[in-house]
Structure 1
């Protein structure tokens, strides 16, 4: 199978949309962290502290997701450059590495979603505890 310039370019729309989604997640979490931090300073409620710790882990994961996604795009461009230069074998390796980074980015995304469900469970448990009182 020959690798053409069109093959790596197929990842461009997918990576761009993923990076946009990751940025939106990051901005939403940053806003939530600021709100929770202000509330925590006033109340020192333990559940807020757990939520903030959870959000810290999620922000680190999003950072990794963004880095892996951007690295994937960079390697795709490098692969296209090598193809343009007539170096198909190195271009294949670079394109393969870009696919690995994309898989890493998606795996981190799944992990971040898993952690976000934990955060929601913390909030729901607090609501249920308040209802029982």
Structure 2
């Protein structure tokens, strides 16, 4: 393995971290809008709060493991630059493992987000039926 192998992950991890940041910003905006809304004390909002809390936590860990992956990838490149093949390979392997954990957390966050949308659709459907 040479120094270019870990370098291949740099653009992918950078884009992934950007996507995670966008998810965080959208979630923060949703939470602030719910808080500012006069209807923030409705049962619909209360049903969504546990999911919002889990999503905040998941995004924090997603970003943390993504940054760890990026850092380990850089250190692996440095180790390979210093011709420490074994250390470089191990660091690169741990970097990939960290990236996989980050992606799994991202999948869980998407599932929670989808469930939250299902709650809203269910509320809209029940409102239309009662009208």
Q: Please report the TM-score for the alignment, with normalisation by the length of structure 2.
A: 0.95
Does the Cα contact within 8 Å between 1:37 and 1:52 map onto a contact in 2?
no
Aligned residue number for residue 105 of structure 2? 108
Counterparts in 2 of 1:9 and 1:43: CA distance versus 1, 3 Å? closer
Q: Deviations over 1:78-99 (max 9, x none)?
A: 0011111111101110000000
Q: Distance in 1 between matches of 2:127 and 2:28?
A: 27
- SS of alignment partner, residue 125 of structure 1: helix
Q: CA deviation at 1:109?
A: 0.8
Aligned residue number for residue 80 of structure 2? 83
Q: CA deviation at 1:52?
A: 2.6
Written as runs of structure 1 = structure 2, the 5 A alignment for 1:2-81 is: 3-39=1-37, 42=39, 44-81=41-78
Does the Cα contact within 8 Å between 2:34 and 2:40 map onto a contact in 1?
no
Does the Cα contact within 8 Å between 1:36 and 1:52 map onto a contact in 2?
no
Does the Cα contact within 8 Å between 1:65 and 1:106 map onto a contact in 2?
yes
Of 56-65 and 15-24, more deviation after overlay is shown by 56-65
Q: Distance in 1 between matches of 2:79 and 2:19?
A: 29
